[in-house]
Amino acid sequence: MAPANSNVGITLGKGMSKVGVVGGGAAGLALAHDLSRAGHQVTLFEATSELGGLARSFQFGDIHIERYYHFICAGDIGYFRKLRELGIEDKLRWKPTKMGFFNQGKLYPFSSGFDLLKFGGTNVVGRFRYGFLILYCLFVNHWRHLDQIPAEQWLMRLLGYNTYMVTWYPLLKVKFGEYHDRISAAWVWHRIHRVAQSRKTPLHREMLGYLEGGTDIFIKSLVQELRQHGGSVMLSRPVAKIIVDDGQVWGLHTTDGQRWHFDYVVSAVPLPVFLHLTPDLPPDYRSKLAAIDFIGVICLILRLRYPLTGNFWLNINDPRVPFNGCIEYTNLNKQATSDGSAVLYVPYYLPHKHERFHYSDEQLLQECAKALTIVSRDFNVDWIIDYAVTRDPFAQVICTNDFAQRIPAHVTPIRNLYLIESSQLYPADRTISSTIDLAHKVALTIVETERSTGNV
């Protein structure tokens, strides 16, 4: 029955259990797709007019492209499974890519073992130690012991002080700021491990993937199949509250005043949003979730007349440059534009209270353009055909050491209320594939719960 202070719930029809999903990002859509295929009645609520979350796309002049950069690695098994289910695995394309390292005013190739041997940013011993780090992360699959160690301490021990300061220190410092010396070694291990798996051998360049038509084709295919299986998608329908009655989830209250009754509710929004929507959580559980910190991202997407470099990924260690890297998407997917122009992503990872979040788009463009003239002497502002700025306050979980003890479970203290959240990806970083895997786990949990209670 509904809570005493509620209106009558909206009836969604008869059949298997009714599931409400909060959040229309990749996690929410993948979960809704899994459950609808299993026969459940699924309704997904998205606060904005767009689906995809951090994987959504937008119209950028005459092209449609992702708001944030995405690429596919050889180990992204969950993504491959979902592409097969959707019948679009033929859209997957692979290409060997280049990585560069801009160090103190000089650009070095950084794609293969041979490039590493010639890297002038550190001495010969440091280069060999860096190569050992890559091999270690490639072949070692056990990470629990690394969870207890700060990455800075671990990397200094493996690389030596000087090599660490040239390579990983600027990446961690610029991205995580005051948290840089507390980031878990397990998180760094997985970053290297995932990309290293995309090399044919440690001496080869990475072979990375993308979807012909971009991530947008994946999102649209999920939505199409979800609807074909009877699922509903509610756009521009923000959830005001997740309703709890006597320790069990009852349903959702949307901001338009309607109440929706569900047998299960799954939150697929960032933890701070989930906490805001669920005031009836037990205090100790709420405190545990609230202790998990996030940083945000500001991402500039530039359309350039010419390529900035020949690299897909460029790490940057230069005090004159306020970001630690940039991603030239058209060096992975040349079909992203039809006129030979380049698409460059420049991300700033920052606490959401950082002053740069209050910069205007024009201020960010001017700062970025000035920095790019340092990275490439040929670059000038006349190269910029168009630009866009995207912002997200909860883009990256801050995974400090011992984070494994803090990962929230999918099952919450509220019966039949489940949680999918990027902090649960640890030690993995946020990727579409790992998000799909989380969603699949929750879908299986709900299906098994139904079977155990005799509802199937």
**CATH number of the domain that 144 lies in?**
1.10.3110
Same domain for 309 and 431? no
Same domain for 84 and 166? no
Angle subtended by helix axes 432-452 and 26-37, to nearest 10: 40
> What pLDDT sits at residue 167?
95
Provide φ and ψ at 59, rounded to 5°.
-85, 120
Same domain for 393 and 301? yes
- Choose the final residue of a domain: 176, 200, 224: 200
Question: In the predicted model, what is the mean pLDDT of the chain?
Answer: 92
Residue 229, token pair as written in the block: 């299986």
User: Is pLDDT at 3 greater than 50 in this prediction?
Assistant: no
1 in a structural domain = no
107 in a structural domain = no
Same domain for 279 and 325? no
pLDDT tens by residue, 8-36: 333 333 347 999 999 999 999 999 999 99
Same domain for 254 and 381? no
Residue 353, SS3 per DSSP: coil
Provide φ and ψ at 256, rounded to 5°.
-85, 5
Same domain for 278 and 407? yes
- Please name the amino acid found at residue 312: F
> What pLDDT sits at residue 202?
59
Residue 219, SS3 per DSSP: helix
Residue 4, SS3 per DSSP: coil
100 in a structural domain = no
User: Is pLDDT at 385 greater than 50 in this prediction?
Assistant: yes
Cα 400-402-405 angle, rounded to 5 deg: 120
Q: For the residues 98-119, what does the mean pLDDT come to? A: 91
User: Is pLDDT at 5 greater than 50 in this prediction?
Assistant: no
Q: For the residues 397-404, what does the mean pLDDT come to? A: 95
Residues in Cβ contact with 322 at an 8 Å cutoff, skipping those fewer than 6 apart: 174, 348, 367, 371
Number of domains comprising the chain: 3
Q: Is 64 within 8 Å of 336 (Cβ atoms)? A: no
> What pLDDT sits at residue 10?
39
41 in a structural domain = yes
pLDDT tens by residue, 205-221: 789 999 999 999 999 99
Beta bridge partners of 328: 344
> What pLDDT sits at residue 456?
54
Sheet with 239-245: strands ordered across: 239-245, 248-254, 259-261
pLDDT band for position 196 (50/70/90)?
A: confident
Q: What is the CATH number of the domain that holds 25?
A: 3.50.50.60
- Choose the final residue of a domain: 174, 200, 226: 200
Q: How far apart are CA 373 and CA 141, in angstroms?
A: 41
The kind and range of the H/E element at 301 are strand 294-304
Residue 150, SS3 per DSSP: strand
The proportion of the chain whose per-residue pLDDT surpasses 90, expressed as a percent, equals 85
pLDDT band for position 123 (50/70/90)?
A: very high
267 in a structural domain = yes
User: Is pLDDT at 252 greater than 90 in this prediction?
Assistant: yes
User: Is pLDDT at 392 greater than 60 in this prediction?
Assistant: yes
Locate tokens 């939150």: which residue? 267
- State which residues form the domain around 435: 18-49+235-290+403-452
Q: How far apart are CA 402 and CA 183, in angstroms?
A: 9
101 in a structural domain = no
Q: For the residues 189-199, what does the mean pLDDT come to? A: 86
- Give the closest residue to 271 by CA, choosing from 283, 284, 286: 286
Same domain for 302 and 392? yes
Sign of torsion over alpha carbons 391, 394, 395, 401: positive
> What pLDDT sits at residue 111?
87
> What pLDDT sits at residue 112?
83
Q: Is 389 within 8 Å of 347 (Cβ atoms)? A: no
Same domain for 82 and 118? no
Same domain for 183 and 132? yes
Sign of torsion over alpha carbons 157, 161, 167, 169: positive
Q: Is 138 within 8 Å of 203 (Cβ atoms)? A: no
Same domain for 282 and 423? yes
Q: What is the CATH number of the domain that holds 309?
A: 3.90.660.20
226 in a structural domain = no
307 in a structural domain = yes
> What pLDDT sits at residue 370?
97
Q: For the residues 360-389, what does the mean pLDDT come to? A: 97
- Choose the final residue of a domain: 140, 175, 200: 200
User: Is pLDDT at 323 greater than 80 in this prediction?
Assistant: yes
Same domain for 278 and 414? yes
Q: How far apart are CA 85 and CA 229, in angstroms?
A: 13
pLDDT tens by residue, 137-182: 989 889 999 999 999 999 999 999 999 999 999 999 989 989 999 9
DSSP assignment of 423-448 equals GGGTTSPP-HHHHHHHHHHHHHHHHH
pLDDT band for position 6 (50/70/90)?
A: very low
pTM of this structure: 0.92
Same domain for 273 and 409? yes
pLDDT tens by residue, 28-71: 999 999 999 999 999 999 999 999 999 999 999 999 999 999 99
> What pLDDT sits at residue 204?
63
More confident residue, 112 or 234: 234
